[in-house]
Amino acid sequence: MTRGRGYRTGLAALVLFTVAAGDFWRNLLSWYGWAGVTALLLTAVLVELARERPSLRRLPAPLLIFLGLATISVAWSAYPGATLAGLAATWFTAAGGVFLALCLAGDELIGALSTALRWVLGLSLVFEAIVGVFVRRPVLPVFPPFDPDAGDIPDAFAWSRAEMFTGGAIQGIVGNANLLAMVALVALITVGVQTADGTIRRSRGWLWMAIAVLTLALTRSAAVFAAAAVVVGVLGLAVLARRLPPAGRSAVFWSAAGALAVVVTAGFVFAEQLLDFLRRNIDLTHRLDIWATVAALGAERPIAGWGWVSHWAPWVEPFDDLVVISGVTYLQAHNAWVDVAFQLGWIGLLVFGALLATVLVRSWWLATDPPQITATRTGPYSATTLLPLLVITALLVQSLAESRILVEFGWTLLVVLAIRTKREQLPVARPLPGQSAEVGR
């Protein structure tokens, strides 16, 4: 690897670490420190984009339309200042995704993602172990965005609740169990792909997969447990489809799509009964009430929404008191689809759905019918071609319980997947004996 490529890969790993663990910087250095770190990274990313000058002509249309719609929503936004701030965060994060997707080779991108997520997992377990063994009480951010002397502080404000050895859910350096669980799941997918393709030592791969599984278990995140179960099911379908002729692959795809359509339709038809069942039998951590509140407000502006904001801005109406539970002001609807419908209306929801649908379909065909250049020494398929499908599946399931796909790590991954699957620039394994190394370039 040349010095220039090494720098670029290192920068990519730092970008991915920062979007995956934004609260690490905010809790450690304050919001101002985090802003300084992200400004430096953004500058470096823009410099690399200027040097590489990648072609932007074939960026995915749904992605561009979604960004365009969010941008022009400032014209009708009920909170234009907050919309401008949200747009800055969305566009800056998208720029990072464009850099990752277009300026790195496939193996460099996966290597950077693996490195970043392993650092998050490793630091999280060390952090929680130190707090659990030596501190033994909740740890607040170094620079808390609240008055630490105000009296009773909600558990949600703690960086770590010191629960690693008490049976509770660990939060790691990211300060949130659900976020850490998602990092663990994506790390498990990424390292698993690397191990299967032999791009890292098998012993090292199995060790980090075990660490990812342990971290996921310690977070006790029901939403990500569900995502992991769906990922395993999709992996099984993809492996089955790979063993079938083209007609069989299509049959598997359309059968799965039909089953999904039946489930979604049944959900709409029996929505009232389903919600009643959930309220009686499942603790969704106030999500049903949050969804109802946000949906009621969104119904006042159903076509184009209230205006883009990504993360809610608690300093402006209606977010200042929209959802306040146990002294905590919530900054998301805990469902990306509800959030998009609220912020960009039915128009935005259709565009967002088209974006995710195109990424999902392209990921499926790349996983089950990849180009011949992805052949490896062990067969016509590379495990790497499964990665986009498994990651977008995890993001889709998470989007039903969290709005994280719209910000930071989730949004970065979505931008990368949209661009890479559109261009079919997947990582290329070592060439087969007698195959020219130039084939995969």
What does the block give as tokens for 286? 């106030």
Mean pLDDT of 6-24: 96
pLDDT of residue 264: 67
The answer to whether residue 299 scores a pLDDT higher than 80 is yes
pLDDT of residue 112: 97
Mean pLDDT of 83-96: 97
Where do the structural domains in the chain lie, given as residue ranges?
A: 61-87+241-433
pLDDT of residue 438: 34
Cα–Cα distance for residue pair 350/344, rounded to 1 Å: 10
Residue closest to 177 by CA, chosen among 152, 159, 154, 153? 159
pTM: 0.90
| Spatial contact of 104 and 2, defined as CB atoms under 8 Å apart | no
The answer to whether residue 419 scores a pLDDT higher than 80 is yes
The answer to whether residue 24 scores a pLDDT higher than 70 is yes
Cα–Cα distance for residue pair 226/397, rounded to 1 Å: 8
The answer to whether residue 405 scores a pLDDT higher than 90 is yes
The answer to whether residue 194 scores a pLDDT higher than 80 is yes
Summarised one tens digit per residue, pLDDT across range 352-366 is 999 999 999 999 989
Residue closest to 347 by CA, chosen among 161, 73, 104? 73
The secondary structure of 405-440 as a DSSP string is: GGSHHHHHHHHHHHHHHHHT-----PPPTT--GGGG
DSSP 8-state code for residue 386? G
What does the block give as tokens for 252? 């598997």
What does the block give as tokens for 245? 């002729």
Summarised one tens digit per residue, pLDDT across range 120-166 is 999 999 999 999 999 999 999 988 766 666 667 777 789 999 999 99
Question: Are β-strands 328-329 and 324-325 bridged in parallel, bridged antiparallel, or unpaired?
Answer: antiparallel
Summarised one tens digit per residue, pLDDT across range 205-261 is 999 999 999 999 999 998 899 999 999 999 999 998 888 887 777 788 788 778 777
Cα–Cα distance for residue pair 205/212, rounded to 1 Å: 11
The per-residue pLDDT of the chain, averaged, comes to 87
| Spatial contact of 364 and 238, defined as CB atoms under 8 Å apart | yes
